[in-house]
Structure 1
Amino acid sequence: MTSRAIFQRMRSYALYRITSTVHFLMFFFVVVMAYDWSLPAHLLILICILNDLATLVIAVDNAQISEHPDKWRIGQLITMSIVLGLCLTALSFAHFFIFWKHFGYEPLDDKAPYDSRKLESIMYLHISSAPHFVIFSTRLTGYFWENLPSPIFALVIIGTQIIALLMVIFGGLTPKVPAGQAIVVLLISFIYFIILDVVKVQIFKHWSFELTATFVPTSARRHKLSDRKASKIQQERVWRSIDNVRKVAVMTAVVSSLQEKHAVEHAVAVEEHK
């Protein structure tokens, strides 16, 4: 049980870390190359510190103990991370363009007036919260409510986001933005994590070796898949044979019981006749 708990925590960390990295790199690569814009260095450092603080508490999380021995599924892990990372990247671009085009928060550089760089605050809060909440999902293969996290784990995750929210609302390290907008950004991140949790569960549900062998049909995988199908057919035949034997055994026992009952009744009738 201890080894399986350790494995689940390691797997949770790997899935969360790869997902965050894919999201972080893809979004900033595009906005830097296309719009020559990025968050200030101190905000990027702060995001890294808060996110790493969250990953540390995975060590005390309530891990879900699997019923069977675990093994690494690297293809599944990488595919899941890329899908979740792409979904987070799409949400980041939605925040970026909506607050730019609709609210007028232009992507300005460090030379612009401090109070006019509110897009930095919005994107900092979003990038800090959206991947952060996803850690509640990556810790399980099922839905996030099936196994609740430990109190320390939940307290640290929520606490880091409260710190980011207050910093954006009251300013200091980043320009102030209206409290309503900041709270909406945080709520969107939380709701989006629930949506991604459903996506994760569906991927796990439909993932199988047959699926990977179909998408990446290497010679070894085709041979292994063929052996598995043959073994499955043989196993089904064995179970059918066992079921047939059980039916015969039950029928034999019933007939034997009826014969025995008839013999007893006949013996009783003979004794009564005497």
Structure 2
Amino acid sequence: MPTVLSVTMAIGSHRLSQQGAITKRMTAIEEMAGMDVLCSDKTGTLTLNKLTVDKNLIEVFVKGVDADTVVLMAAQASRLENQDAIDAAIVGMLADPKEILNLACNKSEIEHRVHSVIDKFAERGLRSLAVAYQEVPEGRKESPGGPWKFIGLMPLFDPPRHDSAETIRRALNLGVNVKMITGDQLAIGKETGRRLGMGTNMYPSSSLLGHDKDESIAALPIDELIEKADGFAGVFPAVADATDAARGASDIVLTEPGLSVIISAVLTSRAIFQRMKNYTIYAVSITIRIVLGFMLLALIWKFDFPPFMVLIIAILNDGTIMTISKDRVKPSPLPDSWKLSEIFTTGIVLGGYLAVMTVIFFWAAYDTDFFPRIFGVESLEKTVNPDFRKLASAIYLQVSIISQALIFVTRSRSWSFVERPGLLLVGAFLIAQLIATLISVYANWSFAAIEGIGWGWAGVIWLYNIIFYFPLDLIKFFIRYVLSGRAWDLVIEQRIAFTRKKNFGKDTRELNGTSAKDTPRASSTSDTVWLRELHTLKGHVESVIKMKNLDIDTIQQSYTV
């Protein structure tokens, strides 16, 4: 088991690195598979971090100065070369228009208007850049110069990434709640959330400290506030420009910008976790099946299965199960984790069923003439001096075939014959069972106490296993229904998404059970997605109306936005 799980995680880690997510701690793959909340930075992650200026919206506060002059002065104050840490700190502080306003000598005259314009820009999702100038009569930088004069505000627009809205929709469909963490103003965060369909239930970071809370959230504890919020403003996270120390402390390092790489990594992690979970259920089932089956044969008929043949079963089985690490699987539609009750219940029931199958086969071959009478094969019935060598070969083939066939049941979420397995797994299974069939047909090994049973018995055993294979899916669905009540959703689901290399998230997935966000109208996943798409469209319409300086209240008297 450790070998299979380690190889699976190692191959999965390599696959994640190809998608732009470098794993520094293996167990982080399991944690990402169970992730249900994603906190995302806004600037550079949800948006392009490529600011543009709309000259038509520039506000001028000094007579005799036009918008072109404001742009020219802002350009003269900018630097194209790289800044050192001190320069970056100073410029970063002065980027806040309020800091520029505090330097201005005409602050008292324009303060109310400046704040009004800043709020108006923020409601449209626009940042504000203040421009002030100072006259230096002597023309030297060491001169004290005159007072600073505030001359204008420039609106800066940071457009969302082209894939942000779609990526957020995919994340919601996968059961991952996306929250925005931004250092910008609250109004900018809300407008961006409206455009991307994330919701506008956002609060300033000071609300986490008990300040600036409105009446609706005043009584909420911090953990509940965080859970209900769609994001927080004024937080100042570090993503692309994170320090080396922060990168060193992380478990997964993203090498590509945007959210799409995270969603791809989530799907890949769930596929990796699904492979490990499938193998764990299979390992529990086979352990129960071997121990219980051979124990019942020994207790009821005093039949001792040859230990050497158990070794052959294990060797052929190991070669097949190693291919699980590269199998094609269907990731869980929701965050997944180790559910021991599900794993052990499924393993025990499936293993018990296989053990009973072997006992019934032994009884029919040893105590009755059913197989000779129906299929005309050689009788293996008990005699005065019973010879178990041919019966041991028959039991070996029956156990080998159905034990490895169980892999196809445990690896699938729906019907095992619907979800196509990987070619490597199918090839390993066919080769292993071809070897097992040839051994049972031709091997006359006195040291292993077996004797060949011929092709007639081999065909009967294959038919017997095929017939009793189909109930395994029904048993799996029944167990899932008892534990969760959702098995029928997987039985009737027709849209099967197979994982391919670098292809996670491109297929349409119909998922159930996604927790709705803080919206009482959303009662199911489809309702949630529909409402969010409608909300996003509504946000686009409102943004266009505001950008055109139209009165939205007047428009809503005739039209519903």
Give the TM-score of the pair, scaled to structure 1. Answer: 0.72
In 2: Cα distance, 1:12 partner to 1:39 partner: 28
In 2: Cα distance, 1:32 partner to 1:12 partner: 30
In 2: Cα distance, 1:236 partner to 1:80 partner: 36
Q: Deviation of residue 42 (structure 1)?
A: 1.2
Range that drifts further, 136-145 or 13-22: 136-145
Q: 1:26 aligns to what?
A: 292
Q: 1:217 aligns to what?
A: none
Q: 1:125 aligns to what?
A: 397
In 2: Cα distance, 1:74 partner to 1:131 partner: 22
Q: Deviation of residue 120 (structure 1)?
A: 0.5
In 2: Cα distance, 1:199 partner to 1:84 partner: 7
1:76 matched to 2:352: no
Q: 2:483 aligns to what?
A: 207
Q: Is the 8 A contact 2:390 2:453 kept in 1?
A: yes
Q: Deviation of residue 164 (structure 1)?
A: 0.9
Q: How does 1:1-274 map to 2 (within 5 A)?
A: 1-103=267-369, 104-105=379-380, 117-173=389-445, 174-208=450-484, 239=522, 256=558
Q: Deviation of residue 206 (structure 1)?
A: 4.2
Q: Deviation of residue 67 (structure 1)?
A: 2.5
Code of the residue aligned with 1:105 in structure 2: it is: L
Code of the residue aligned with 1:93 in structure 2: it is: V
Secondary structure at 1:143's aligned position in 2?
A: coil
Q: Deviation of residue 65 (structure 1)?
A: 1.9
Q: Deviation of residue 124 (structure 1)?
A: 0.5
> Which runs of 5 or more residues in structure 2 are unaligned?
1-266, 370-378, 487-514, 528-533, 535-554
Q: Deviation of residue 31 (structure 1)?
A: 2.0
Q: Is the 8 A contact 1:144 1:197 kept in 2?
A: yes
In 1: Cα distance, 2:440 partner to 2:286 partner: 21
Q: Deviation of residue 43 (structure 1)?
A: 0.7
Higher RCO (C-alpha 8 Å, min separation 6): 1
Code of the residue aligned with 2:411 in structure 1: it is: R
Range that drifts further, 71-80 or 195-204: 195-204
In 2: Cα distance, 1:33 partner to 1:147 partner: 39
1:88-125 Cα shifts (integer Å, max 9, x gaps): 111101111111012452579xx976xx6211011000
Structure 1 6/34 Cα, relative in aligned 2: closer, same or farther at 3 Å? same
Q: 1:216 aligns to what?
A: none
In 1: Cα distance, 2:305 partner to 2:432 partner: 19
Per residue, is there more helix in 1 or in 2?
Answer: 1
Percent identity of equivalent pairs: 27
Give the TM-score of the pair, scaled to structure 2. Answer: 0.37
In 2: Cα distance, 1:18 partner to 1:4 partner: 21
Q: Deviation of residue 255 (structure 1)?
A: 9.5
> Which runs of 5 or more residues in structure 1 are unaligned?
211-231, 247-252, 258-274
Q: Is the 8 A contact 1:143 1:201 kept in 2?
A: no
Per residue, is there more strand in 1 or in 2?
Answer: 2
Q: Is the 8 A contact 1:165 1:183 kept in 2?
A: no
Range that drifts further, 28-37 or 83-92: 28-37
1:105-155 Cα shifts (integer Å, max 9, x gaps): 2579xx976xx6211011000111111101111002211133211111101
Range that drifts further, 155-164 or 198-207: 198-207
Q: What is the number of residues matched between the two proteins?
A: 226
Range that drifts further, 87-96 or 25-34: 25-34
Q: Deviation of residue 171 (structure 1)?
A: 2.3
Q: Deviation of residue 28 (structure 1)?
A: 1.3
In 2: Cα distance, 1:3 partner to 1:49 partner: 29
1:49-92 Cα shifts (integer Å, max 9, x gaps): 11112111111111212232211111011111111111111110
Code of the residue aligned with 1:162 in structure 2: it is: L
Secondary structure at 1:121's aligned position in 2?
A: helix
Q: Deviation of residue 198 (structure 1)?
A: 2.2
Q: Is the 8 A contact 2:441 2:455 kept in 1?
A: yes
Q: Is the 8 A contact 2:330 2:413 kept in 1?
A: no
Q: Is the 8 A contact 2:367 2:382 kept in 1?
A: no
